[in-house]
Amino acid sequence: MEQMPDEALSEVAAYFQVLSEPTRLKILNLLRSGERNVGELAQLCGFSAANISRHLALMSKSGLVVRESRGTSVYYRMADESIYALCDLVCGNIARQLQRSAASRAVFTGTPG
């Protein structure tokens, strides 16, 4: 990110903003196993198709997912699977932070971490 112009940094921030919503992360995780249509995603997420469609529209606009119409259904898949490496890196970092926090609490409370 060194020496990136402000406009480019704004684009990067917008990309991360799309990833900042738990429902969209759940959708990304579901698409990890392959493409799905809105109805499938809505059922698996426990939200309405309209809600999932709004999230997918934003994800499509940002370039995270690709949509393909087939008859009366629209299927979505990841545009770039490298997003999973980023998500796994962040999740691993958060898991390590939580483990350190639990271990620190255990030292002070005398309970197993």
Band (pLDDT 50/70/90 cuts) for residue 100 is confident
> Which strands make up the sheet holding 36-37, listed edge to edge?
36-37, 73-78, 65-70
Domain residue extents for the chain: 1-80, 82-113
Within 8 A by CB and 6+ apart from 75, the residues are 35, 36, 37, 67, 68, 69
Return the pLDDT at 87: 86
Return the pLDDT at 2: 83
Q: What is the pLDDT of residues 50-95, one digit of tens each?
A: 999 999 999 999 999 999 999 999 999 999 989 999 988 998 889 8
Q: Are 57 and 91 in contact, with CB atoms under 8 Å apart?
A: no
Domain 1-80 belongs to what architecture? Orthogonal Bundle (1.10)
State the DSSP string of 57-97.
Answer: HHHHHTTSEEEEEETTEEEEEES-TTHHHHHHHHHHHHHHH
In this prediction, residues 6-34 reach a mean pLDDT of 93
Q: What is the pLDDT of residues 4-13, one digit of tens each?
A: 999 999 998 9
At 95, the amino acid letter reads A
